[in-house]
Structures are given as structure tokens and as C-alpha cells.
Structure 1
Amino acid sequence: MISTHLRLSALSLAMLAATPFAHAQTQTPRQSGDGAYLLETVEVQSSADASRDGLSQPFAGGQVAEGGQVGILGTQAVMDTPYSFTSYTELLIEDQQAASVGEILLNDPAVRVARGFGNYQQVYIVRGLPVFSDDMTYNGLYGLLPRQYLSSSFIERVQVFRGANTFLKGAAPGGSGLGGAVNVVPKRAPNDPMTQLTVGGQTGGHGHAAADIARRTDDGRFGIRLNAARRSGDMAIEGESSALSMAHIGVDYRGDALRVSADLGYQDHRVDGGQPNITIDGGVPIPDAPDATKSIGQSWTYSDSEDLFGTLRAEYDFASNVTGWAAFGARTSDESSIFANPTVTNVNGDYTASRFDTAREDTVVTGETGVRVRFDTGGIDHTVSLSGSVYDLESKNAYAFGAPAFSGNIYSPAPVALAPNTVPGGNLSDPGRTIHTYFQSVALADQLKMLDERLLVTLGVRYQRLKDYNYDYNTGNRDTNFSYDEDALTPTVGILYKLTPTVSMYANYIEGLQKGARAGNTAANVGQTLDPYETKQSELGVKYDGGRLGGSVAVYRSRKPVAGQDANNIFKIVDHQKNTGLELMAYGQITPTMTVLGGISFLDADVDGDKAIGAPETQANVNLEYRVPQWQDVTFDGRVIYTSSQYADAGNQQKVDAWTRLDLGARYLVPLANGTLLTLRGRVENVTGEDYWASSGGYPNAGYLTVGAPRTLLLSATFDF
């Protein structure tokens, strides 16, 4: 427990209210003679997230946390972990008015946000390699979150793990995650009663309203938190509109030895006339980006996805040094869409496109169980963790093409009539099973502490079984040429040494894993599947925690197999993508009134002397917040995002220009009657109105482009009762 006497301005009070403490006396703020807010001494415990270690506390400034969940290793402090990760907090999400996970991850210099192949799915490029949104984990479990887009309304933390991570989390079932991982932590009830209502809007007339309500029992053991939100209307892009409805309930219990949490979430997200992905024909130089304020998409294009998901997690202390845990989760989803993604045929922006319909229904069941034992041997402290997990996905899919194709120009968008469907694959109104994915894994880890806990060594290995079966769209028969059943071992070694209480040095070796590709119809060994791809990564780094200011420096090198056909048309591993990088991160408070978050990332993603598709050499972020000393309830913030040039083709003939984006914001906290606080927020993103290509690719070997967001004004008002 911590005992603390807090003297807070209204801004600091709001920051504390957003921090998820689990057990404390209910306190009512009182105002001192100088107008600042004063809280009585309170006793605080960790958040009730069904883990013994609880939720890591926010770092100075409140934008990132001191630690996070590191897979089988559990909750770890950044300074005690020989890996690179950052946990972005609820406070940052609220203050930046970030509506989705992708908008949150724009704060990370090692991450950029791209699109799925031919759809609106968010893809997160970490260290030059994709993490599909359906490969995010939800409190450590894969496959439970909505695939295409995830609302931020129920999120407590978004954790970014940089680098290969199969030992820690298991192989991502969607086939991505070789360069990193993203974990979402849901909100829990804080110790004080909470009733928060938010309304807002943005350029184009898009409006939103949200409610966040939480209560705990008098003894603090039981908690419940309810989030609900509705967003709808036209976007800042002319011709594009969207609607989102979501609700989420989280409950938890924290006893002396037993901790339990459960979540149930619902989300329905629809986009109409959305800005499409744009492919540039081979040999055509990359044209200038079109006007970002106008959608190139046709009014009849849309994407609609509805998801219901839930989890149950429990942890029990069998003894003071023995803790077991078990978690279970499930998701059902229903998706439908009509796309028409242009292929540009010349530098003038002329294109051709065709209608493409899809339908998808997913059912996911997943779970894990494990035990963690702590003991000493000869002056060495051991924490041994043993964990097993299963993941089961049944996916029903159908598609259809439209004919004839139509033409247009990306600089002069014009409506065309909807062509009829032809060439169906399955039944769009009743799709049949086409995919069955079943993953199993067992992992063993030992974390050793020695030399008065200055030297920490992590040893571990995971056995992974990957089964992936495909079925014909029309007959439903299993296609043996598209079936996969392989296994692999993925080890790790991590070493961390604390030079001083504020400086840690670390090194690690760790691997990533995904299923191997299948030989296509032009290969001499058609139908043959390759062994699982193993990405091998080595990393060295230094971490700093000065109490108010923190940061890190990391250098890494990873090696990923690249498949193709050799001179004899044999499909095999023909090359490797070698990613070599340097990352510098900084966060915390430079001064009592100035907060910093950001860094710079350098990457050389080499494939046989060429740069990999969609892997910029330099990415940089700087986010500064300034609280005006004379008006402590007024804060200004500014963010600069820079991405250097990148390539849209494997031969490096199509170069995409660098881009820089400036975002500016302000917020003002207004005390109202009866202790109510009103937070007014305003933000302009892409202040200069730059038109730019935001990303290239996002799906292996594909170099399609996405248009960056236009200048957008966001306004919101939050009432804390």
C-alpha cells in the first residue's frame, strides 16, 4: 500500500480520477484557500485486473505506464524487462480524443498505421512488419477483438511490444506479428464512484456521445464498469460517413487469495463511401496524393462488421509463492462489404476498378492456463512459469466480383452505377465454412534474479502446434492442398543488468513464428507447404528512469524468411528480409509544466539489396504538452509525426514521398457546482492540410497506398459527476 497526501489543481484531480486504483476510501475533494483542490490522505492498492501484481502505475505525466503485461511473464516493470515495450494510458487516449487503436498508436515512433488488403482493416506496422488488427491480444488472449476496427471507448491501456514475441504470447493466428505485438487492456472500476458523460463532434458533422460509469462495493472487493458510445455522421472526407455503436461491461472481484475479472463487449461499425486503398500499376511512378478531403470511393461501397466478445479470467494463490491462473474467451462476428479499389494506370491518375463483395462470419474460442512458482536456490531467486494455450477459429466466407469494370481518375472523383455481381465464391447471404484454424502451445520460463537483484536473466521456450485447414467456397469440401499442420520450438534468452537504480542495460534473443506459405499453381511443387517461418531477432538496449523523465535506446537485427520460386520453379525459401534498426524513446515530464512523449526510429529493411515494401528508413514523433502556470487548468499540446520515403514495389522503382503531419490541441478544466468537473477539449489534426500517402502495403508483397487523413477539427466536452 501507498500512503500519499495529494494537493491537486483541477487538472491533477482529473488525472487521478482516470487512474484505476482498486481499493481505497472514497474521498471528496475540498477546495483550499488559493483555489486549488486538496485530497485527504488515501490508501491505494493495485487495480483489480485479476492479477497478483495488478495494473502498472502511470509514469510521470500520465501518458504511459511504468510497465505492462509481458505474456507468460505477467506484469513487468519496463526497467526490469529485457524487451522493448510501451503502455499508453487512458489519460492519453482521452486527451487526444483518439477514437481507435490506430489513432493511439500514432504516438509510437516505431509504429505506423496501414490498411488490410482490399478493405478498411487497420494494420499496425511495427519495426517494418505488419500486425493485423485481428492479431491483437485482449488481456493476453488472441482473436477476441473486432477484426476491422476497434473503438477506444472501453480501453484502459494499449500496450505495444516491439520485436519478435512468439515465446511470450504464442504465434499470432492471423499470420502476422513478426515485428511486434499489440495488447489491449479493458477498463476496470476505480476506487471512487465514477459517472462520466462525453459529447463531441468533428469536421463534416460527425458527432459522438459516450458514457463511462463505475462503482465499487464499500469494502472495495467488487467492482463494475460500464462503457457505452455512439458515433455517427459524415466525416471530414467528403462522401465518407461512418457509424459506430459499442457497449462494454467489466466486472471484477479481488479477494485475499482469489482474483476474478470478466468482460462482455459489443461493437457494430459501418463505413459508407470510405476512402479506398489505391494500387499503382507496375512501372508507373507514384503520382501525387489526391485531395484528402474528397473520397475516391463510390457511394455504394461500404463495410459493416458486428462483433460480440467476452472473457473470464481468474487467478488464485495456492501459497504465498505459488499462483495459478486460467482465462477463457469467445467472439462471434458478422461482416459484409462492397469494395471497389482503384488501380492507377498512369501518372495522370487514371484508374480502373471493379466491384468486389465479401461476407464473413467468425466464431472464436480461446483460453490459457498456467502456474507461477517463486523459490530460491543458493542465493538466486527463481520465478518459474508454465503455461498452456489453445485457439480455435471457424470462419465462414463468401465473395463475388462485379462486371463490367469501370474507370475514373483519383483527382476528379465521379460517381458510377453499381455493376451486377458475377463469379460468386459461395453464398453471400449464407457463407459456408472455408477456414478452420487450431493453435496449441505450451511455454516454460524461468526468471532468475541475482547479485542483489541487479542481474536478471530470462530463459524460456515455447512449443507451438499450428493447424490451418481450408475448405472449398462452393462445395464445403476440405482442400488438402491448402491444409497446414506443423509444429516448432521458439526459445528466448534475455539478460538485464541494473547499472544504477535509474539505468538498466539489456540484451535478448527471441524468435517470431508464422505458418509457411504454399506453392502456387505455377510452381513445380504445386500445393507443397513450407515449414513454419521463424524470425530470429537479437537486441541490445539501455533504459533510463529518472523518476520524472524516462527513455530508452535500442538496437536490433531480425531475419525473416522470404519464399519464392527458384530457377527450377521450385517454391522454397529463396531469401531473407534483414531488418536492422535503432530506436530512441523519451517520455515523462521535462519540467513540472512540460510533458514529452516521442522518439525516433531508424530502420534498414533489406531484401537482397533492395528496401522492403512499406518500410520507411526514418520515423519520428514528438508530442509536447504545456500546462500554463498562470492558468493551471489550461493545457496546450502539439504533436509532429514524420515518416520518411518508402517503396511500394519490391524492385524499388516506385518511391513514395516522405510526409510530416502537425497536430495541435488544447483543453480546459472548469469546476462546476456540486463538485462536477467539465473538461473542454479542442484539437486540429493535420493543421497544414497536407495531402500525402500515409502508408504503402500492410499485406505481404502488396504495395497498395492509403491516403492520409485531411485537416480535421475535433471538439468534445466531458462531465465528471
Structure 2
Amino acid sequence: MGGRFHFDTFGLHHTLVAGYTSLNENIGYAYALSATANPSNLYYPKPLPEMPARTPWGRSQHHRLNSEQLIDSISMLDDRILLMGGVRNQTLAVDAYTPTTGTRNSSYASSAISPLAGVVIKPLEHVSLYANFTSGLSQGPTAPGAASTANQVFAPYSSKQYEAGVKADWGHVMTSASVFQLPQPNGVLGADNIYRLSGTTRVRGLELNSYGEVVPGLRLMASATFYDASLIGTTGRTKDGNHPAAIPDCTFNVGADWDLPWVPGLGVNGRVQHTGHEYLDAANNLQMPAWTRYDAGLRYSTTIKRRPVVFRATLQNIFAKRYWVAQSAYLMESAPRTVLLSAQIDL
């Protein structure tokens, strides 16, 4: 909930936004864990060992996040300069539970007042230069299920993000380029099977985007992100300079959407997604190769009983590419060739 207020002072136009948000959620799961292991890999898979009965569902975490914010945007010189500044007061509380017993094993609560600031300058009518700084209170990492300290939640931390870039509106096409930096705590699963924090993951990057309707009915999108990520301040400095886990060196996306002129309402689309190589561990001993996936789809827009309806059919991973997907300390096999069907109705 919140409000937006407009007023002028000394020839400056203000847009003041005051808001309040609240989040209260419970997270739980039920796993079937085997007492034995059967070594396997993506290229030479082996059958899984016999699984016991699935454990009952249980709550693993309880999150409460409250945030009050006050942000003022000031425009001047016929909107060629825009200044933004504000503060957020955040309160974050997290309880962690053992799902099978319901026992609370850790609890954290923290609050912080976080500033944010930004500036936009328009040297030309179609070009905008911008820079911003944001900060906030973020939930600490959670120990993965493989750790002896599984589901342990670490204390919240203060996050800071810096970004600067340029945007250009060429009429039918928009382009942008930006650089950014984002630090966050680095979690490591040690040889003793205990998950702990060790240093900071610092992510710097360059992001390029272009999208628009190049000719009537044909929309194109392309993006590229290059990451310069490294670990700093690790325990004993043993992993300083290493590449953080689960962060690729680059990503590329190219997509197209075309309204077929021969059938009103019918369109086709496609996308190519590429992810560069990445590591599974902070020691950089396990590297996963880069992968590229191709998707295609159909879209049909019509009206049923005066209600707009859109039917979509998407074929993901057309060539059934097999690759690894990493997320924190987890590693998953890619989804096979998949067909998705959906219908959207505006009531």
C-alpha cells in the first residue's frame, strides 16, 4: 500500500512516493532420501537406488519482511535532469525448522535503514544517461540439504548495488548498455560437510540490450551479459580470485516474434539462449561446459464471447540438448524436449 504525491517547489517538480509492504510466508518440503548412493553422471547414467517412503511435508522456514519507504523524484530543466533520493526502513526475520520434527533450530531478526539515490540526464532528446545506487536488507544464505547443518539460515546482510548506463530510443528500436556491481556473502560446503560463510562474492558486469519492431509485425530482441565475478576475503585467502560457483562468464539471448500476415491473430516466435561455462564449487575444481538451447512457439489471438483470448504452444529445447543447470550448491540435469500449452483470457 502507498501513495503518490505531486507538487512544485522553487520551480522544481517533485513526485513523492510513500509506501509500505509486508510479506509473511512459510516454506516447506517433503523429500525421499536414500541411505545409499549410486555414482552416476549425465553421460553414463545409472539407475537410482531404491527409495524409501517419502517423508511427511514439514515447514522448513518462516519469513517476515516489513518495509517502509519514502522516495522523492525531482525533475528540472524541462525533464532533462531527474534526481531521485530516498530511504527504506526494513525489518527482516527468519526462523528455520527441522521439517520432520517441527523443531526450530535457528532464528534471526534484523532491521536497517537503507538509502538509495539516482540521477538521469538527457543530453539529447532520444538519449538518457543514468546512474543509481540501491541498498537494502537481504536474507542470508541457507545451508543446502547435503550439509550436516542442512536448512541452517544465516543472518540477514546489507546489500549494495551500483549501476550506470545509457539508453537510446531510435523510434522503433530501443538500445541500452550498462555496467553494474553487486556484492553478496559467499557460502561454502567444507570438507567437514559443514556449510559456512567464507568471504564475499563480488559480481561486476556489462549488460547490452536491444529490442523493438524492426518492420511492421516483426519484433526482435537481443541481449548479452558479461560477468566478471570473483571471490574476495575468503578464509585464509585460499580461494581469493577464484570464480564463484553457479555464475557463468556470459549469457546471450536472441528472440523474434512475427505476426503472420496470412492468418489474422496468428504469430510465430523463437528464442536462442546461450549460457557460458560456470563452476560448481568455490575451489573451481568442477567446471560445467557452456550450453545453447533453442525454443520455438505459436501464438493465436482471438475473441470468444467478446473476451480477448490468447492461445500459446511452445516447444522448449527443440534439439533435446543435455546440459547441467547449477544453482548454489545444487546441480540438476536439463529438462528434455518439452511442450507447453496455455490459454490466457481477459475477463
TM-score range, shorter chain: 0.7 to 0.9
One-letter code of the match for 1:706?
Answer: E
Q: Could you tell me which of 57, 65, 72 is aligned with 1:439?
A: 65
Match of 2:93 in 1: 467
User: Following TM superposition, by how much is the alpha carbon of 1:717 offset from its aligned partner in structure 2, in angstroms?
Assistant: 8.9
Contact 1:404 1:419 in 2 (8 A): no
Match of 1:452 in 2: 78
Match of 1:374 in 2: 6
User: Following TM superposition, by how much is the alpha carbon of 1:617 offset from its aligned partner in structure 2, in angstroms?
Assistant: 1.3
TM-score normalised per structure 1: 0.39
Match of 1:358 in 2: none
SS at match of 2:247: coil
User: Following TM superposition, by how much is the alpha carbon of 1:646 offset from its aligned partner in structure 2, in angstroms?
Assistant: 1.2
SS at match of 1:704: strand
Contact 1:535 1:561 in 2 (8 A): no
Q: Could you tell me which of 578, 585, 591 is aligned with 2:215?
A: 591
With 575-584 and 435-444 compared, the bigger mean Cα shift is at: 435-444
Q: Would you tell me which structure has more strand in proportion to its own residues? A: 2
One-letter code of the match for 2:88?
Answer: R
Whether 1:542 aligns to 2:166 is: yes
SS at match of 2:322: coil
Query: Which structure is higher in RCO with an 8 Å CA cutoff and minimum separation 6?
Result: 1
Match of 2:111 in 1: 487
Q: 1:690 and 1:533, CA in 2 relative to 1: closer, same or farther beyond 3 A?
A: same
Q: Could you tell me which of 281, 285, 289 is aligned with 1:657?
A: 289
Q: Structure 2 matches for 1:129-144, cutoff 5 A?
A: none
Q: Could you tell me which of 555, 559, 566 is aligned with 2:183?
A: 559
Q: Could you tell me which of 701, 705, 711 is aligned with 2:332?
A: 705
Residues of 2 paired with 1:389 and 1:381: CA distance?
26
User: Following TM superposition, by how much is the alpha carbon of 1:619 offset from its aligned partner in structure 2, in angstroms?
Assistant: 0.9
Residues of 2 paired with 1:439 and 1:662: CA distance?
38
Q: Could you tell me which of 647, 654, 664 is aligned with 2:279?
A: 647
Residues of 1 paired with 2:344 and 2:66: CA distance?
44
Q: 1:477 and 1:496, CA in 2 relative to 1: closer, same or farther beyond 3 A?
A: same
SS at match of 2:78: coil
Q: Could you tell me which of 206, 214, 218 is aligned with 1:582?
A: 206
Q: 1:435 and 1:718, CA in 2 relative to 1: closer, same or farther beyond 3 A?
A: closer
The percent of aligned pairs where both chains have the same amino acid is 33
Contact 1:402 1:420 in 2 (8 A): no
One-letter code of the match for 1:618?
Answer: C
User: Following TM superposition, by how much is the alpha carbon of 1:414 offset from its aligned partner in structure 2, in angstroms?
Assistant: 4.2
Residues of 2 paired with 1:475 and 1:689: CA distance?
41
Contact 1:624 1:638 in 2 (8 A): yes
TM-score normalised per structure 2: 0.76
Q: 1:404 and 1:600, CA in 2 relative to 1: closer, same or farther beyond 3 A?
A: closer
Contact 2:33 2:52 in 1 (8 A): no
Residues of 1 paired with 2:278 and 2:317: CA distance?
20
Deviation digits for residues 368-421 of structure 1 (CA, Å, limit 9, x no counterpart)? x33332211101111222223333335677767444556767545547644357
Residues of 1 paired with 2:28 and 2:221: CA distance?
42
User: Following TM superposition, by how much is the alpha carbon of 1:530 offset from its aligned partner in structure 2, in angstroms?
Assistant: 6.8
Residues of 2 paired with 1:613 and 1:460: CA distance?
34
User: Following TM superposition, by how much is the alpha carbon of 1:627 offset from its aligned partner in structure 2, in angstroms?
Assistant: 4.2
Whether 1:392 aligns to 2:24 is: yes
Residues of 2 paired with 1:638 and 1:517: CA distance?
36
User: Following TM superposition, by how much is the alpha carbon of 1:499 offset from its aligned partner in structure 2, in angstroms?
Assistant: 2.4
User: Following TM superposition, by how much is the alpha carbon of 1:598 offset from its aligned partner in structure 2, in angstroms?
Assistant: 2.5
Deviation digits for residues 162-213 of structure 1 (CA, Å, limit 9, x no counterpart)? xxxxxxxxxxxxxxxxxxxxxxxxxxxxxxxxxxxxxxxxxxxxxxxxxxxx
SS at match of 1:510: strand
User: Following TM superposition, by how much is the alpha carbon of 1:550 offset from its aligned partner in structure 2, in angstroms?
Assistant: 1.4
Match of 2:148 in 1: none
With 658-667 and 401-410 compared, the bigger mean Cα shift is at: 401-410
- Paired residues, number: 324
Match of 1:344 in 2: none
One-letter code of the match for 1:445?
Answer: I
Match of 1:690 in 2: 321
Residues of 2 paired with 1:560 and 1:377: CA distance?
39
User: Following TM superposition, by how much is the alpha carbon of 1:664 offset from its aligned partner in structure 2, in angstroms?
Assistant: 3.3
Residues of 2 paired with 1:510 and 1:549: CA distance?
28
User: Following TM superposition, by how much is the alpha carbon of 1:509 offset from its aligned partner in structure 2, in angstroms?
Assistant: 0.8
Contact 1:552 1:586 in 2 (8 A): yes
User: Following TM superposition, by how much is the alpha carbon of 1:515 offset from its aligned partner in structure 2, in angstroms?
Assistant: 3.7
SS at match of 2:336: coil
Q: 1:440 and 1:659, CA in 2 relative to 1: closer, same or farther beyond 3 A?
A: same
User: Following TM superposition, by how much is the alpha carbon of 1:493 offset from its aligned partner in structure 2, in angstroms?
Assistant: 0.6
User: Following TM superposition, by how much is the alpha carbon of 1:475 offset from its aligned partner in structure 2, in angstroms?
Assistant: 6.7
Q: Structure 2 matches for 1:172-187, cutoff 5 A?
A: none
Q: 1:707 and 1:686, CA in 2 relative to 1: closer, same or farther beyond 3 A?
A: closer
Contact 1:605 1:615 in 2 (8 A): yes
Compute the RMSD of aligned alpha carbons: 4.0
Residues of 1 paired with 2:31 and 2:296: CA distance?
42
Match of 2:146 in 1: none
Q: 1:650 and 1:457, CA in 2 relative to 1: closer, same or farther beyond 3 A?
A: same
User: Following TM superposition, by how much is the alpha carbon of 1:518 offset from its aligned partner in structure 2, in angstroms?
Assistant: 9.1
Q: 1:644 and 1:436, CA in 2 relative to 1: closer, same or farther beyond 3 A?
A: closer
User: Following TM superposition, by how much is the alpha carbon of 1:692 offset from its aligned partner in structure 2, in angstroms?
Assistant: 2.2
SS at match of 1:614: coil
Contact 2:36 2:49 in 1 (8 A): no
Deviation digits for residues 516-545 of structure 1 (CA, Å, limit 9, x no counterpart)? 4699xxxxxxxx997632222211111122
Contact 1:614 1:703 in 2 (8 A): no
Q: 1:502 and 1:574, CA in 2 relative to 1: closer, same or farther beyond 3 A?
A: same
One-letter code of the match for 2:332?
Answer: L
Residues of 2 paired with 1:476 and 1:686: CA distance?
40
Contact 2:295 2:317 in 1 (8 A): yes
Contact 2:37 2:49 in 1 (8 A): no
Match of 1:65 in 2: none
Residues of 2 paired with 1:375 and 1:614: CA distance?
47
